[in-house]
Structure 1
Amino acid sequence: MKKSDHNNKKRFAVIYLLLLFAVTGNKVAAQQKAFNYTQYMDNLTPFNPAYSLLDKAGSINALVRKQWVGIDGAPVSYLINGNLPIESINGAAGLIVFDDQIAIERQTELNAYFAKGIQLDQESYLAVSINAGLRNYTANYSILDATDPTFRNDVRETKPNIGFGIMYYTDWYYLGLSVPELSVTSLGTASVQNASNFRNHYYFSGALLTDINEDIKFKPATLISYAKGVPMTADISGTFYMKGAIGLGINYRTDKEMSGIMSINIRGFHVGYGYQFGTSSTNLGGFNNATHEVSLSYRFGKGAMDSKLL
């Protein structure tokens, strides 16, 4: 293949991806908000590190989220986070790493966090957390055609990041508020995504765990996100857990996305799968913006063999 044909193919791929956003009925800036995932009810720590105190075991968690499978340059995200409890002070510390890619754009973040809880009464606790790290953004326009002035200059920016979280929790429910990505200046202003990935994002979360019978528990949960200039989004989910080993749930997002979720918890290991699809008329009648999401976790230390449902 000639070099000019190869460059034209890359440019076409980027344009095609942007057209797909339009077909699904969402503006690019609204669609590509801060990193999100459908299995938040099983691992909320990347959104609010104070949540890490709800588990007395240590853990390592990984997640892969891939959209439009089979299309070159389609959105793909990777997340890894580890948590180590500090039982002597009712605290926890850990690391969160995620990588988000679409076409020629890529955002990578690395954050360390510390969380500390205090007991309010016999059944309730209040936890606070702080996280700090770096956020890197790149847009490799030159790979499209380095000889074209329009695509000559790449964008490469790195900025510090700081975040805060607070959570009130008991053995059967929690309520949380967090700002995990708090930046003084914008990042990625040259992005075709209009820098919406790099604004301050605010999250409100809540969940409770209730018994249906001796073997089945039900967990409704919600995650509400807001950023200036981006429509507020709410995730609402409900999950049934059978004997603490198998979870089956459904999630609805107010930007007209729905997901089916399945999880297995056995001896400290957690495996989850989510299938997300659009519910708008454009999705159901034509191109379906399907997303596959796989998660894997391992818990160790105190209480690791017990199922973690909340």
Structure 2
Amino acid sequence: MKRITIATVAAVWVSIIAANAQQPLTHTQHGRLRTVLNPAASLLADGGEVSVISRRQWVGVDGAPAVFWGSGHIAFKDFGATAGLSIRHESLAVEKLSEASAFFAKSVRISKTEYLGLSLNAGVAYMDGRFSQLDPQDPAFRDDVREIDPLVGFGVMLYRPERYYVGLSLPRLMLGSLGGSDDSRYNFRNVYHLTAGALFPLGTDFHVRPSVLVTYSESLRPQAEASALFFIKEVFGIGGNFRSYGEIAGMAQFNFAGFGIGYSYQFNPGNEVLSRRISNTTHEIGLSYRFGNQSGGLL
């Protein structure tokens, strides 16, 4: 029964790819948890930070997409620099991708209040695709793939602490052809992220934090999304996220003593192919802790 379920999920996924191309697996909490998308964003938490994000799509379906991001860095305030590690693990049915990379970021002051941050990262990616488990007799599924390839990346960010930021990054520039094949289902491409956000005070006890994320890759559909959270006394925030393909998410965040806890519930009210065939409910949890004298920070 489990094999039938996985095979069904994979068949649906392949049909969606053939019709529309795969959407990138990104998270909705990019307004605060940005380092996994652009290591230069670590400069905004100049006391150091540790964060993790877990995203589970199509809840209740065996083999559904799941992604885990983790990041941690230390700061060198005297040099305006940070150094840290980022990890990522994503899975879909019998296909898994794991990445780990180290990064270094440096800021340069370009005005009285503004900074330009640059980052470089390098690491490895490992793909484990056990496609023969779906149906060894079906020629549509090729042999198993297990590959390790190096990767490098970069990021740039213009920012004003606790006010705004705009960044562009390529965190995964593959130096090999991971899962290399003319079949785009198994060929991981370079992914670009454009991020931007700001923090606006609304009186003494209220703030609003809008943010946007645009993701592009040669083999994926471009995706744009916007989020906004309203905060009370910098402690509790509530808001939403909207993606260009119709997904809507309700979001909440709670800050205390340097900790940040975020939750997102996402669904698609439309009638796309995915919505008609399987559950499209997505849950996402983010945790972070900022070191130093920071109270948690909203941006």
TM over 0.5: same fold? yes
Call closer, same or farther: CA 1:285–1:200 in 2, change over 3 Å.
Answer: closer
Gaps of 5+ in 1: 1-8
1:73-132: CA deviation from partner (whole Å, max 9, x where unpaired): 111111111111111210001100111011100000001100000111210101000000
Partner of 1:155: 145
Aligned positions of 1:229-244 closer than 5 A: 229-244=219-234
Residue 289, structure 1, aligned to residue 280, structure 2: yes
Call closer, same or farther: CA 1:191–1:288 in 2, change over 3 Å.
Answer: farther
Partner of 2:245: 255
What is the TM-score with the length of structure 1 in the denominator? Answer: 0.88
- Secondary structure at the aligned position of 1:16 is classed as helix
Residue 104, structure 1, aligned to residue 106, structure 2: no
Deviation at 1:228, TM superposition (A): 1.4
Which AA in structure 2 matches 1:165? G
Deviation at 1:62, TM superposition (A): 1.2
- Secondary structure at the aligned position of 1:241 is classed as strand
Deviation at 1:247, TM superposition (A): 1.1
Cα distance in 2, alignment partners of residues 242 and 155 from structure 1: 50
1:252-277: CA deviation from partner (whole Å, max 9, x where unpaired): 11122111110100111111110111
- Secondary structure at the aligned position of 2:78 is classed as helix
Partner of 2:259: 269
* Aligned residue among 126, 134, 142 for 2:116: 126
1:35-85: CA deviation from partner (whole Å, max 9, x where unpaired): 411111111111111010011222211111111222221111111111111
Aligned positions of 1:210-229 closer than 5 A: 210-229=200-219
Moved more, 163-172 or 11-20: 11-20
Do 2:59 and 2:280's aligned partners in 1 also have CA atoms closer than 8 Å? no
Partner of 1:57: 47
Do 2:23 and 2:223's aligned partners in 1 also have CA atoms closer than 8 Å? no
Partner of 1:201: 191
Deviation at 1:195, TM superposition (A): 3.3
Aligned positions of 1:117-196 closer than 5 A: 117-144=107-134, 148=137, 150=139, 153-171=143-161, 172-189=163-180, 194-195=185-186
User: Aligned pairs, how many?
Assistant: 296
Root mean square deviation of aligned Cα: 2.4
1:176-232: CA deviation from partner (whole Å, max 9, x where unpaired): 111111124332245986135x21111111111111111110111111111114221
Deviation at 1:13, TM superposition (A): 1.9
Cα distance in 2, alignment partners of residues 54 and 194 from structure 1: 36
